[in-house]
Amino acid sequence: MTTQGECFILKTIVLVSLVIVLPLQCYADVPSGIGKDKYNFSIGSFLPAVNTEMRLDSGTLGRGTTIDLEDDLGFDAHQNTGRLDAYIRFAPRHRLNVGYFNMNRTASGVIDKTIQFGDQVFAINTNLDSEFKTSIILTNYMYSIVQQPKFELAVAIGVHYSETKTSLSTSGGAISVNAKADGPLPLVGLDIKYAVKPNLHLGLLAQWFKADTSDYDGTIRNINASIEYFVQKNFGIGIGYSQFKVDYNTNMTFFKGAIRYSYGGPQIFASLRF
């Protein structure tokens, strides 16, 4: 087990212990707050398992090599990262949600196959230094089609905006290739909130989208499930699970090739609502 994994499990045990020890009746007479909060902010720790494949094509050499960053280049398949989420309810049934996190990973090692990455070919047994950086902003507009004291169901229409940078270079940097793929991808889905008790809430966000055009073919999926316990009326702690998957081929000017990456794993967080 990795050090990051041990650290995350320890945090989770502490959090669950608090949830068990703290009395559920601490403010049982207070309304659940489902659909009543105007502002909500959360910050947490996210430990996803990551799987990344990509291909960078060349105008002269043709189709590039499909690279599995974890298997072929030695990237760590797990990374602990922070995550920020917030929303504002600007009308009784209308919300605007924003989430952000990033992952920066590096690896070094000798490759066991020949790799064509863009216009450059790296021969087998070459010692490569690799870097993969991604920053992700998730923005959603939500309209509550059902809003009850303990239950809220909303339609979510959003945009997943990512900045992805990949670099492969020989040791010492004598030969280096960089690739960048930035842009928005749409998402549609449903958001559900349910108050089991006034201070114990369940949440689920599920989104999906597929597009097929002359220059782009891909799918995107986003799932986030959570259990949140409010220690006080305005302060909560929670655990959850998030999974995100992108799979696309593109022939656009800024990037010709394919990217397939997924991340999914547990998270712990603290939240404030007003």
Whether pLDDT at 89 is above 90: yes
- Is residue 104 within 8 A of residue 133, CB to CB? The reply is yes
- pLDDT tens across 182-223, in order? 878 899 999 999 999 989 999 999 999 988 887 778 899 999
Q: State the pLDDT at residue 23.
A: 45
* C-alpha to C-alpha distances, 137 to 62, 97, 153, 231, 261, nearest whole angstrom: 32, 10, 23, 29, 16
* Neighbouring residues of 239: CB distance < 8 A, sequence distance ≥ 6: 12, 15, 16, 226, 227, 266, 267, 268, 269
**pLDDT band (50, 70, 90) for residue 120:** very high
Whether pLDDT at 41 is above 50: yes
Comparison of pLDDT for 59 and 18, the residue scoring more: 59
Angle among Cα 129, 135, 139 to the nearest 5 degrees reads: 165
Q: Left, alpha or beta for 74 (phi > 0: left; psi -120 to 50: alpha)?
A: left
Percentage with pLDDT > 90 across the chain: 61
Q: Which of 14-18, 179-183, 241-245 has the lowest mean pLDDT?
A: 14-18
* C-alpha to C-alpha distances, 66 to 31, 56, 71, 255, nearest whole angstrom: 54, 8, 11, 15
State the Cα–Cα distance between residues 9 and 26, nearest whole angstrom: 27
Query: Can you give the pTM of this predicted structure?
Result: 0.82
Q: Are strands 94-110 and 81-91 parallel, antiparallel or unpaired?
A: antiparallel
**pLDDT band (50, 70, 90) for residue 4:** low
Number of H helices, E strands in the chain: 2, 14
> For the residues 81-97, what does the mean pLDDT come to?
95
> For the residues 31-36, what does the mean pLDDT come to?
74
Percentage with pLDDT > 70 across the chain: 88
| 3-class SS of residue 202 | strand
- pLDDT tens across 170-184, in order? 987 788 898 888 878
Tokens of 94: 């209308």
Q: Which domains does the chain have, with CATH numbers?
A: 3-218+242-273 (2.40.128)
SS (H, E, C) 223-248: EEEEEEEECCCCEEEEEEEEEEEEEE
DSSP 171: T
State the Cα–Cα distance between residues 259 and 254, nearest whole angstrom: 13
Q: State the pLDDT at residue 183.
A: 79
> For the residues 250-260, what does the mean pLDDT come to?
82
State the Cα–Cα distance between residues 191 and 143, nearest whole angstrom: 9
| 3-class SS of residue 192 | strand
